[in-house]
Structure 1
Amino acid sequence: MYGAPIAWLGRPVLFAGLEQVERLDHRAHLVVHGRPPSMAADELADLAENVNLRGRGGAGFPFARKIRAVVKAAARRRTRPVVVVNGTEGEPSCLKDAALLLRTPHLVLDGALLAAEALGAEQVVLGVTRADTEQSLLKALTERRSTPLPVSVNRLPERFVSGEGSSLARGITSGIALPRGGNIRTSDSGVGGVPTLLSNAETYAQLAVAAGMGALPYREVGLPTEPGTVLLTLAGKQVVESPAGVPLADMLQMFGMDIGQGVLTGGYHGTWLSPDNARKALVSRESLRGLGGALGAGAILPLPDTTCPLGEVLRVTRWMADETAGQCGPCYLGLPALAKAVEEVVRGGGRAALDVVETRMREVTGRGACSHPDAASRFLASALEVFDDDLQMHSYQYGGCGRPVQDVLPMPEMESAGSIVVDWTLCEAHGLCTSVLPEVISLAPDGFPSAAVMPVPSQLLQQAARAVDRCPALALRIQ
């Protein structure tokens, strides 16, 4: 009911008050956190700068600069801005924002309303994709009875791309959650074309805490350069609030995990750390970046020794290819081609297959309407570096590393949209179907599909239709 289990190291700050209850209603929230003070826009920007508050959704952009950019754009255009809370969190390895919205939604609302009043905004919009977070926020707004300006909850399609900034703004405006491209900042033109202050749920929660505590008490926790606490999702199942600066290996050990073959930091748009670097790392944006990792959206995914690293990487690469918005070639065509090339490497394609992977990564980098192709390529490049020994075994040794793929890296659970059915009287074992739909159709040793009826997740329905169209023997149909 309240999402992933939560925990904290030291004294909880964002999770304060949750020691005894699972959710803070408005009355309990006021007892724990009080009411944040009213602040002018320049005061709010100064506070965010003083505590070095950065966006906690992935990019880590300084929040003070966002505030000042929106103020400047709104003044230039003589319009009132909009404040948007990004609670979409479309990546299956990230659960921290959902934990906030389900358990302490009023802290997020306080931060958003604090910013909106400081900026003279016309409205606050909370973008979500999950039914439970939508209901939690609607319940929280009912508990408040009234707000100083309009606040609405907008539910968008549960897709990875829905959380991209311009995609979220566009989805709120028109219902079409697709990246806009064109390098237009939402601080200049966001929801409804007006300047928009957009950041994720944790950023607004941190803002509310900093405003309530004041800068100096807030800075007593964490590192001098990165004060405060950080919300992390460990292994896609445990949300932990930690002071910045805690050794990463020690944290994993506290929760029964170890570094294993390496640690993915920052989620599926992040990068891998080798075991040696993971042992040196602190829970810190600067520390992780210095070792080749990324704090990103706070997802930390250790990979145990028992699973095949490249098999796990292939699963994620396929998923990122499926999450394309379908509106630019590097994403819609390039990422599936990249996933196919990685599959050839895993199957033992040797140097030629590796060359194709490197070519495909270059082809998608720097050419997309959003950062998704670049991030997918970065994720894969770091994996190939960290898992080089495994890469050599798969490339040049029959049978690869010999370990099974245990599906350690979390993937979304999707309901079936139907089944793809094989007509054995027509099938000629061309195998083209599995190149289009490898997540659903696998081939038996004889080259024919391994099953006659295969459920198709709703997210892959379009791919399934392409597989049907591609079959030269007309042996497939969707039922």
Structure 2
Amino acid sequence: MIPYRVPQIKRLGPARLTAGLDDRRRMDLPAHRAMHGTAPKMGSEELADLADEVDLRGRGGAAFPFSRKIRAVITKRSETVVLVNAAEGEPASSKDMMLLTRTPHLVIEGALLAAGAIGAKQVVIATAAGGMGQASVAAAVEERGAGDRVRVVGIRERFISGEGGALVRAVNGQVGEPPGRKVRASESGVGGLPTLLSNAETFAQLAVLTILGPERYADVGTAREPGTVLLTVGGSAGAPAVVEVATGTPLYAVLDMCRASPGEGVLVGGYHGAWIHPAAAEVATVSRQGIADAGGQLGAGIILPLGGETCPLGETVRVARYLAAQSSGQCGPCRLGLPDVARSMAALITGSATALDELRRRAAGVRGRGACFHPDGTARFVLSALEAFPDDIEEHLLRGSCGRPVHGVLPLPEEATEPEVRLAVDWTRCQGHGLCAKLAPDLVQLDEHGYPIFIGETVPPQLQRLARRAVEMCPALALRLN
């Protein structure tokens, strides 16, 4: 299976994850074997010690030590599963799709290596349903004749679909949204079994590490963060690409390679990341510590230079509205707080005198209070714009505009047309209990006689979970969703 269109790659430093891709669109199994060989088999403690030796961290954003994940699973002394998170819900990231599309066997190799070490009988690779990545990795599993051990699951792609709890729920056939309470995959994951869950790049890095050994792996990069990292460079870049970079490489060198300049600022870490000032971007280095020193976080390796032609605050509003709409609607800070944050940001760029303080208050109000980290990440993204673009804020407050249009430099998915969802009442059954208004106060009010009146004609996506609950709990079975 050779895809017609594939993500472009570049590199600064040696080719590790991207080896062999200069003259191939996709590495099939013979090409993979010729380039990388086969990863040696290891026991669980041996593999954990190896990951410790180079401080291998998860590459999905949280940077959790991989060795701790291994040890957390093997202490359960039961059947286990390996789950590869390749569900890139982040619109600005392409690295997982690049790996699955162009070098899928590297991901599978790392996952099977981990499965052998912890005694897992099954590997599950979760990716966006219907995409090139799903087709490519499924073909790679067939090439290996590994269909009895490796299962590929396509899930609906949303911003929150890559969150660990949401991913496990989707793989288990449930709605792919955070469970509302912290359940570690190492305790209960796929099928309720202890699950070793990590990002697609993490497993690819694991394969490279075991094949090269720790000394050769650490030949490049920094002493504290050896090896390479995959970056997705987009935004205003003239030559956007997935770039493999040795850690410690100056960020400006990456931007130059992709024909980009810091412009007004650079968004690092994606839409749960932070804006950094152009001056900070000029001296930053590509590593977790280097980006943190510049005021951001490396996260999943997303680098979005803004350029100077678009309004940075307008771009921030576009993304803030998108993030508010991606809420799973299961907690107040997300369901109500994030739309309020987006509205305050929109009011700020029109020159509202009270919007700035209101925005800070509302963003602070959602942090640390959500059922998952979506409110925290959104608040961090919005508040970082206030720090990165003070001159633009002053212009907007004084004149209601900075004079620049919003070009849509930050990528967002095309809006899919979804069927409208409406609440309805069977009046022959309704007895005016009023429970629906208590369960869904954002959707239902009561009239003077205690009967429901609906707020708005349709139920927005972030409130549909709430609406379903109200329908299920109606004691007279009078409330319905159409």
Give the TM-score category using the shorter length: 0.7 to 0.9
SS in structure 1 of the partner of residue 101 of structure 2: helix
SS in structure 2 of the partner of residue 224 of structure 1: coil
1:51 aligns with 2:54: yes
SS in structure 2 of the partner of residue 310 of structure 1: helix
Bigger CA drift: 333-342 or 408-417? 408-417
CA apart distance, 1:2 = 4.0
- Structure 1 CA distance for aligned equivalents of residues 5 and 63 of structure 2: 27
Q: Could you state the TM-score of these two structures normalised by the residue count of structure 2?
A: 0.84
2:268 counterpart residue number: 265
CA contact (8 A) 2:335 2:463 kept: no
- Residues 90 and 463 of structure 1, relative CA distance in 2, 3 Å threshold: closer
- Residues 93 and 63 of structure 1, relative CA distance in 2, 3 Å threshold: same
- Structure 2 CA distance for aligned equivalents of residues 364 and 399 of structure 1: 27
- Residues 160 and 30 of structure 1, relative CA distance in 2, 3 Å threshold: same
1:188 counterpart residue number: 187
2:165 counterpart residue number: 166
Unaligned runs of 5+ in 2: 421-441, 443-458, 465-482
- Structure 2 CA distance for aligned equivalents of residues 203 and 285 of structure 1: 15
- % identity of equivalent residues: 50
2:134 counterpart residue number: 134
CA apart distance, 1:464 = 12
1:223 counterpart residue number: 222
One-letter amino acid of the structure 2 residue matched with residue 314 of structure 1: V
CA apart distance, 1:252 = 0.4
2:294 counterpart residue number: 291
- Structure 1 CA distance for aligned equivalents of residues 362 and 29 of structure 2: 51
One-letter amino acid of the structure 1 residue matched with residue 339 of structure 2: P
One-letter amino acid of the structure 2 residue matched with residue 222 of structure 1: G
Q: Deviations over 1:259-297 (max 9, x none)?
A: 111111111111111111111100111111122111100
**Residue from 345, 349, 352 that aligns with 2:348:** 345
Q: Deviations over 1:283-340 (max 9, x none)?
A: 1111111221111000001111111010000001011111111211111111111111
CA apart distance, 1:197 = 0.8
Q: Deviations over 1:80-130 (max 9, x none)?
A: 111100001111110001100000000000000100110011311111114
Q: Could you state the TM-score of these two structures normalised by the residue count of structure 1?
A: 0.85
Q: Deviations over 1:233-280 (max 9, x none)?
A: 001541111111110012101221011111111111111111111111
CA apart distance, 1:341 = 1.1
Q: Deviations over 1:22-52 (max 9, x none)?
A: 1000111111111100000001101111111
- Structure 2 CA distance for aligned equivalents of residues 127 and 16 of structure 1: 24
- Residues 55 and 309 of structure 1, relative CA distance in 2, 3 Å threshold: same
SS in structure 1 of the partner of residue 399 of structure 2: coil
CA contact (8 A) 1:2 1:102 kept: no
- Structure 1 CA distance for aligned equivalents of residues 220 and 97 of structure 2: 24
2:251 counterpart residue number: 248
Alignment of structure 1 residues 89-108 onto 2, 5 Å:
89-108=88-107
1:86 counterpart residue number: 85
- Structure 2 CA distance for aligned equivalents of residues 418 and 171 of structure 1: 21
One-letter amino acid of the structure 1 residue matched with residue 394 of structure 2: Q
Q: Deviations over 1:426-462 (max 9, x none)?
A: xxxxxxxxxx9xxxxxxxxxxxxxxxxxxxxxxx974
- Structure 1 CA distance for aligned equivalents of residues 13 and 233 of structure 2: 17
2:385 counterpart residue number: 383
1:24 aligns with 2:27: yes
Q: Give me the CA root mean square deviation.
A: 1.9
Unaligned runs of 5+ in 1: 420-435, 437-459, 466-479
- Structure 2 CA distance for aligned equivalents of residues 276 and 56 of structure 1: 26
SS in structure 2 of the partner of residue 197 of structure 1: strand
- Structure 2 CA distance for aligned equivalents of residues 89 and 315 of structure 1: 20
- Structure 2 CA distance for aligned equivalents of residues 383 and 5 of structure 1: 29
Alignment of structure 1 residues 47-446 onto 2, 5 Å:
47-72=50-75, 74-75=76-77, 79-131=78-130, 132-146=132-146, 150-235=149-234, 237-350=240-353, 352-395=354-397, 397-417=398-418
CA apart distance, 1:178 = 1.1
CA apart distance, 1:146 = 3.0
